Structure formats: C-alpha cells, structure tokens
Amino acid sequence: MNTAEAGAQGYYRRLQAAVEELLILKGIVTREAIDAEVAAMEQRSYRRGAQVVARAWVDAQFKARLLADGSAAVREFGFEIGPMHLIVVENTESVHNVIVCTLCSCYPRMLLGMPPDWYKSIEYRSRVVREPRAVLREFGLVLPDAMTIRVHDSSADMRYMVLPRRPAGTAEWSEEALAGLVSREALVGTAVAARHQSDDNSPV
Amino acid sequence: MTAAAVDPAFRVGDRVRVRRSDPPGHVRTPFYCRGHSGTVERICGRFPNPEELAYGRPGLPPIPLYRVRFLCRDLWPDYAEHPSDVVEIEIFQHWLEPAAAPAAPIGAKR
C-alpha cells in the first residue's frame, strides 16, 4: 500500500467512526445491531466457497445448477447470502477466470467473507484488466501460453466466484478433504486448486 | 404514475458499443471500456439505476443489465498477452448502442 492509500484509509476510518456515532446518537441504529452485523461478517469465510466447490467436483448435477444459477445453488447449503446475485465461472483446460472490481472492491462477501487487502489495492484493480498474466505471475501462477484468460469486472450488481479445476490424483478423496484444497485465492482466480506436498498420503 | 419497465434492447451475441460519454456523478461504467465494442455474453436481469440510487432516488424503473465481453486487444491497442484474452464487464442498457460492425480502432487518446 502506498502512502496516499494509507492516508485515505485513515481518513475513511475516522469518517466511518463519526457516521457510526451520529447514527447511534440519533437512534437510527444501535451499537448492538452494528456489533451483531460485524460478528456475522466475521463468521463468513472463503471456506464456504471451498465447500461449494468441493460439492461441484463430486456432484455433476449440483455443478450444473451452480453454473446455471449461482445464488440458488449456494442457498442449498443454507448460507444466508441476502439478495446477492452470484455468477460462478468455471476454469477449464483452455480458460482461466479471474475476478476484480476495478471501480471499488465488490466481492462476494456473503459467501467468501472479507476481501483480502490486495484485492482492494489500486495496483491489482488497475493492472489485472491490463496485463492479467503479469499480475498472476506475481501471485506465483504461471498459465500455459495457449490458455485464454477471462477477467470479470464486478462493475454493477453481480458478484463472482471461480470454480477451479479439480486437481489430478484426487478421485478417491472425500468432499471434505477436497474442500481443503481450495484457497481463497483459487476462488478469486489468482491461484489454482492444488495438492500440497504434504498431501501425498491422500486423506480419504 | 409508475414508469413502464424497460425491456431489453439487445440479445445474447449482439455486438454493442459502449457510449463514449463522461457525465458527472456516480457512474458504474468503467472508463476503460467507453467507446469500445464487445459482445453481449448474458442478460443479468433488470436493476435500479445506480446513477440515481447514489443520490437517494429510487432508480426506477429498473434497467436491463448486461455482461459484455470485450477482447483485451480491442480495449488496449498495445495489449501484449494472448490475443483471445477477454474482459467481461456489467453494463446498463442506457450505456449501450448497437455496433453493427467492429468499431474503428481507438487510439491511446481517451
């Protein structure tokens, strides 16, 4: 983060605190309601998205529903996602998807929790639509030259999640073990799902 | 009186061009796609106009929202990565016009 961004964050933090105080003083919201919402947000994490991906890997019919209507399919898990319109985009052997919000920091928070700082950075937001391979390389992800990259700019009401490819050699793995292979970055498309060195003794 | 719903003017696969406009206020059409042409990838439904919502107005009637697929090499004249790479962007109908033929190349000036 550069100095200007850090300064802006300090400014917005003070602004947010001031508005919060005013809303409470005027009786529009209560401190308890704000705390409850913050607590609910902290409960949400990318592990929800990882569970959804693992289900899609083992259940072809669920995967079809997920790609046809992401919001409806993730509600099958009982996740409270509010009015979120979710589009799930599938990585294949010829297409890699990556998500950004160039205008601000739109992110499927109801499913993945809070966005990481790099996702909100000016650098990521401006460069990933301009030179996606160079950006992905900095994340340690080198894609085959022939692969097409699709960058999804969350510019309005849709939110996005990547359905990564299932790693090879996991045919016998349980859904729960598969979910453990899906990182937050894989759900945004700055990484792929992969087996770790320590996974050689496949957990079933 | 309730304003009539706005019907979709474009179909999936249609070639469209983003209006080259720079209105003041809150706009959800990224600057880098203005004036460029792409293909309608899907129709997302109808949503209240964010340019009205931002100022506390209801933004009604809802406007069709599209996902438009742009080739990166159309967006950036000097794009140096794979020629089939694309960016897909959500764009409201009032920002789109038909593009019968591929748009004339747009220089670095924006």
Query: B86, A157: Cβ pair inside 8 Å?
Result: no
Looking at the structure, tell me whether residues A56 and A122 fall in a common domain.
yes
Chain B neighbors of A152, CB-CB under 8 A = 87-88
* CB of A190 less than 8 A from some CB of B: no
Within a domain: residue A204? no
Average per-residue pLDDT in chain A?
A: 93
**Which residues have C-beta within 8 Å of that of residue A25, sequence separation ≥ 6?**
none
Chain B neighbors of A151, CB-CB under 8 A = 72, 85-88
CA distance B32 to chain A (A): 9
Q: What is the pLDDT of residue A130?
A: 97
Q: Where does the pLDDT of residue A198 fall: very low under 50, low under 70, confident under 90, or very high at 90 and above?
A: low
Q: What is the pLDDT of residue A197?
A: 62
Q: Nearest Cβ partner of B88 from A130, A152, A157?
A: A152
Within a domain: residue A34? yes
Within a domain: residue A64? yes
Strand partners, B89: A153, B68
Looking at the structure, tell me whether residues A31 and A64 fall in a common domain.
no
Report the percent of chain A where pLDDT is more than 90: 84
Asked if the model's pLDDT at residue B26 lies above 50, the reply is yes
Query: B81, A158: Cβ pair inside 8 Å?
Result: no
- Region A63-85: what's the mean pLDDT? 94
- One-letter amino acid for residue B59 of the chain: G
Q: Which helix (H) or strand (E) is A151 found in, with range?
A: strand A148-153
Cα–Cα distance for residue pair B29/B34, rounded to 1 Å? 8
**pLDDT per residue as tens digits for the range A118-145:** 999 999 999 999 999 999 999 999 999 8
Asked if the model's pLDDT at residue B3 lies above 80, the reply is no
Looking at the structure, tell me whether residues A30 and A129 fall in a common domain.
no
Lowest mean pLDDT of A111-115, A164-168, A198-202, B105-109, name the range.
Answer: B105-109
- Region B60-86: what's the mean pLDDT? 96
Q: What is the CATH number of the domain that holds A148?
A: 3.90.330.10
Query: B86, A85: Cβ pair inside 8 Å?
Result: no
Query: B82, A146: Cβ pair inside 8 Å?
Result: yes
Angle between helices A46-58 and A60-68 (to 10 degrees): 130
Q: Which helix (H) or strand (E) is B39 found in, with range?
A: strand B37-47
Q: Where does the pLDDT of residue B4 fall: very low under 50, low under 70, confident under 90, or very high at 90 and above?
A: confident
**Which residues have C-beta within 8 Å of that of residue B9, sequence separation ≥ 6?**
B64, B93, B96
Which residue from B minimizes the CA distance to A144?
A: B82
Distance of CA B30 to the CA centre of its chain: 8
Chain A neighbors of B29, CB-CB under 8 A = 155
**pLDDT per residue as tens digits for the range B6-20:** 999 999 999 999 999
Angle between helices A31-43 and A3-25 (to 10 degrees): 130
The top-scoring range by mean pLDDT among A4-8, A81-85, A148-152 is A148-152
Q: Where does the pLDDT of residue B5 fall: very low under 50, low under 70, confident under 90, or very high at 90 and above?
A: confident
Q: Nearest Cβ partner of A130 from B44, B76, B86?
A: B76
- Enumerate long-range contacts of A57-65, CB under 8 Å, 24 or more apart: A57/A166, A57/A175, A57/A178, A58/A175, A58/A178, A63/A163
ipTM above 0.85, yes or no: yes
The number of folded domains in chain A is 2
Annotate A182-204 with b (16+ C-beta within 10 A) or e (fewer).
Answer: bbbbbbbbbbbbeeeeebeeeee
For domain B15-94, which CATH number applies: 3.40.1190.20, 2.30.30.50, 1.10.520.20, 2.40.110.10? 2.30.30.50
Active site residues of A: 101, 104-106
Domain parsing of chain B, residue ranges: 15-94
Looking at the structure, tell me whether residues A37 and A123 fall in a common domain.
no
Domain that includes residue A158, residue range: 44-195
Write the CA distances from A131 to A203, B67, B107, integer angstroms: 38, 21, 18
pTM of the model: 0.88
**pLDDT per residue as tens digits for the range A3-57:** 776 777 789 999 999 999 999 999 999 999 999 988 988 889 999 999 999 999 9
